[in-house]
């Protein structure tokens, strides 16, 4: 059971996949009505944990089984002492939904068809539309939803807020702005897309015991799209270390970053790498930055390189008897400027696992993303934000829309592991597997936050290079760790108090007590 619960919390499905899974459950003999009773009972229990039974509640009811869930919730809350009313603006209902309406009315629960008739309430339960909605909501229901949103009453949505596309999170005309979303059975992909986040509030999973065999039958042994959970992220950390080891066994990372104009990028990337616990850290910077980096990271080997007139690295000047193959992994890009094109070309030609960020990505786009990466033999990780993504992959559809599809296409075309930054960072490997980070904070929307991630990711990659861990799993762990550091820092300092330097200092705090 523990193993099932661990997997269930990871799984992310589309509407079509959820239909197929439910179809298997019903074909095995589970009555639809029985499942509806079970689900609605769990929803009512969770609502009671959020609001006391003395509250007045309005149930927004649609014509399908999502509305049926809402009607059973109405009945259960009525029995638990809530003052309940039902809003049902539809005349034609599914048979089971109609039966639940009939019973609710027999209990004396009032039902209204016009929004102008609705009494005041303390909160609303949204059961208008369930998963699978694809057409745009139009008047008169669109106007009703807009009016309900203007009430500024807390709303709990069943499964997902009415009006959101299940897979993309797109707003289909208009949508309920929920404070809570109680997702049923398995996480819906749309709830993990950036464009849905203004509508879902706090999302929770209502696990109604879907048999794992039915999930596997539809999704396979390894689902294509998964949520990163603390358990999965921590499982890939290079902890505990063996009792007998040394610094080079714990990874040697080369950072190539910085310029006279962007010295801070080199420092922040290096601090992220330090936070990863990497055994040995070398940092290649323009000669004029060497003493600055040494003062911030005395434990690192700082390599001063010849620089251009503009203060960018002109050429790599590694220590004697050292070349790029001497390192476990390379991370390149923050603060480089586009004048460092020859440096990026050199690391792309190396046989080392490589993380590219910032100007490393901009230079890659100039070189031609797909053709350039097709020549690489070692693992490559790209970490673009949306603007960089469009420069790298101009032929891929808008990454602000269906981010899961966009990152899958980018990884497939390039052969790289692609991390698309955002409120819900998405990571894909070339085979189409996707990890989504389900938690983040707006505190990370500050200059330098991405540099810290690049260093952290490079450090983890260097430590894992001799371990049988998929690269995308290491990338997922870095994204989760980085996000959790931001969340922890914001909880202690407010969202305005999390600059990139502070963020780097919270990396270790995330791990202490968890590992």
Alpha carbons 118 and 111: distance in angstroms, whole number:
9
Please provide the size of the chain in residues.
515
CA 164 – CA 427 distance, rounded (Å): 23
CA torsion through residues 253, 257, 263, 266, sign: negative
135 by DSSP, 3-state: which?
Answer: coil
Is 357 labelled as part of a ligand binding site? no
The answer to whether the annotation marks 66 as part of a ligand binding site is: yes
> Got the DSSP string for 383-449?
---HHHHHHH-TTS--TTS-HHHHHHHHHHHHSSEEEE-STT-EEE-TTS-EEE-----GGG-STTH
Which residues, in sequence order, are bridge partners of residue 182? 158, 204
Gap between the Cα atoms of 368 and 386, Å rounded: 18
Q: Is 405 annotated as contributing to ligand binding?
A: no
473 carries a ligand binding annotation: no
Instruction: Tell me the longest C-alpha to C-alpha distance in the chain.
Output: 87
Q: Is 67 labeled as ligand-binding?
A: yes
65 is in an annotated binding site: yes
Report the alpha-carbon distance of residue 195 to residue 12 in Å, rounded: 17
* Share in percent of the chain as helix, strand, coil (round to 5): 45, 15, 40
472 among annotated binding-site residues: no
Tokens of 63: 């014509």
Query: Is 134 part of any known ligand binding site?
Result: yes
* Bridging pattern class, strands 426-428 and 434-436: antiparallel
Are the beta carbons of 103 and 165 closer than 8 angstroms? no
Cα separation, 125 vs 59, in Å, equals: 5
- To the question of whether residue 93 is assigned a binding role by annotation, the answer is no
The SS3 call for residue 499 is coil
- 409, 463 in Cβ contact below 8 A? no
The response to whether 130 counts as a known ligand-binding position is yes
The number of beta carbons lying within 10 Å of the beta carbon of residue 416 is 25
* C-alpha torsion sign, points 489, 491, 493, 495: positive
Count of Cβ atoms closer than 10 Å to residue 357 Cβ: 31
**Does the annotation place 497 within a ligand binding site?**
no
Q: Tell me whether residue 421 is annotated as binding.
A: yes
333 has binding-site annotation:
no
443 is in an annotated binding site: no
Q: Is 62 annotated as a binding residue?
A: no
> 41 a known binding residue?
no
169 belongs to an annotated ligand binding site: no
422 is in an annotated binding site: yes
Report which of 138, 114, 463 is spatially closest to residue 276, judged by C-alpha positions: 463
Q: Is 162 annotated among the ligand-binding residues? A: yes
3-state secondary structure of 247: helix
Residue 251, annotated ligand binder?
no
Alpha helices in 107-177 (DSSP H): 141-150
The H-or-E segment that residue 227 falls in is strand 225-227
Annotated binding residues for AMP: 421-425, 450
Annotated binding residues for (6S)-NADPHX: 65-69, 130-136, 159, 335, 385, 451
Annotated binding residues for K(+): 66, 126, 162
Annotated binding residues: 65-69, 126, 130-136, 159, 162, 335, 385, 421-425, 450-451
């Amino acid at each position: 059971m523990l193993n099932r619960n661990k997997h269930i919390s990871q799984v992310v499905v589309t509407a079509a996949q959820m239909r197929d899974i439910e179809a298997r459950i019903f074909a095995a003999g589970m009555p639809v009505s029985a499942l509806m009773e079970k689900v609605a009972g769990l929803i009512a229990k969770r609502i009671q944990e959020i609001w006391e039974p003395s509250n007045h509640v309005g149930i927004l009811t649609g014509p399908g089984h999502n509305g049926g869930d809402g009607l059973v919730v109405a009945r259960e809350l009525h029995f638990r002492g809530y003052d309940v009313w039902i809003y049902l603006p539809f005349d034609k209902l599914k048979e089971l939904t109609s039966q639940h309406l009939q019973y609710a009315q027999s209990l004396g629960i009032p039902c209204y068809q016009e929004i102008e008739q609705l009494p005041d309430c303390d909160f609303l339960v949204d059961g208008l539309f369930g998963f699978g909605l694809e057409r745009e909501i139009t008047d008169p229901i669109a106007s009703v939803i807009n009016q309900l949103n203007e009430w500024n009453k807390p709303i709990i949505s069943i499964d997902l807020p009415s009006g959101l596309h299940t897979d993309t999170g797109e707003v289909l005309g208009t949508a309920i702005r929920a404070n809570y979303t109680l997702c049923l059975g398995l996480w819906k992909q749309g709830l993990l897309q950036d464009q849905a986040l203004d509508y879902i509030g706090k999302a929770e999973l209502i696990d109604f015991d879907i048999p794992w065999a039915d999930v596997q039958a539809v999704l396979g042994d390894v689902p294509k799209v998964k949520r990163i959970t603390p358990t999965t992220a921590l499982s890939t950390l290079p902890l505990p270390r063996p009792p007998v080891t040394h610094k080079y066994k714990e990874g040697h990372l080369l950072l190539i970053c910085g310029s006279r104009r962007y010295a801070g990028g080199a420092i922040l990337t290096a601090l992220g790498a330090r936070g990863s616990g990497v055994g040995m850290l070398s940092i290649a910077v323009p000669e004029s930055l060497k003493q600055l980096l040494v003062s911030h990271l005395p434990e690192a080997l700082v390599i001063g390189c010849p620089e251009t007139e503009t203060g960018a690295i002109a050429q790599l000047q590694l220590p004697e008897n050292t070349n790029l193959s001497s390192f476990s992994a390379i991370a390149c890009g923050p603060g480089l400027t586009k004048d460092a094109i020859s440096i990026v070309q050199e690391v792309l030609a190396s046989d080392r696992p490589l993380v590219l960020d910032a100007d490393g990505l901009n230079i890659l786009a100039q070189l031609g993303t797909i053709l350039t990466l097709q020549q690489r033999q070692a693992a490559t990780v790209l970490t673009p934000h949306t603007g960089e993504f469009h420069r790298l992959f101009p032929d891929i559809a808008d990454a602000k829309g269906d981010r899961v599809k966009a990152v899958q296409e980018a990884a497939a075309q390039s052969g790289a592991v692609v991390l698309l930054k955002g409120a819900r960072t998405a990571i894909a490997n070339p085979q189409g597997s996707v990890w989504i980070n389900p938690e983040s904070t707006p505190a990370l929307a500050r200059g330098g936050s991405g540099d810290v991630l690049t260093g952290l990711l490079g450090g983890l990659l260097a430590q894992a290079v001799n371990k049988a861990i998929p690269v995308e799993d290491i990338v997922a762990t870095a994204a989760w760790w980085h996000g959790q550091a931001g969340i922890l820092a914001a909880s202690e300092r407010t969202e305005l108090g999390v600059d990139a330097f502070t963020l780097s200092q919270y990396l270790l705090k995330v791990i202490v007590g968890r590992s």
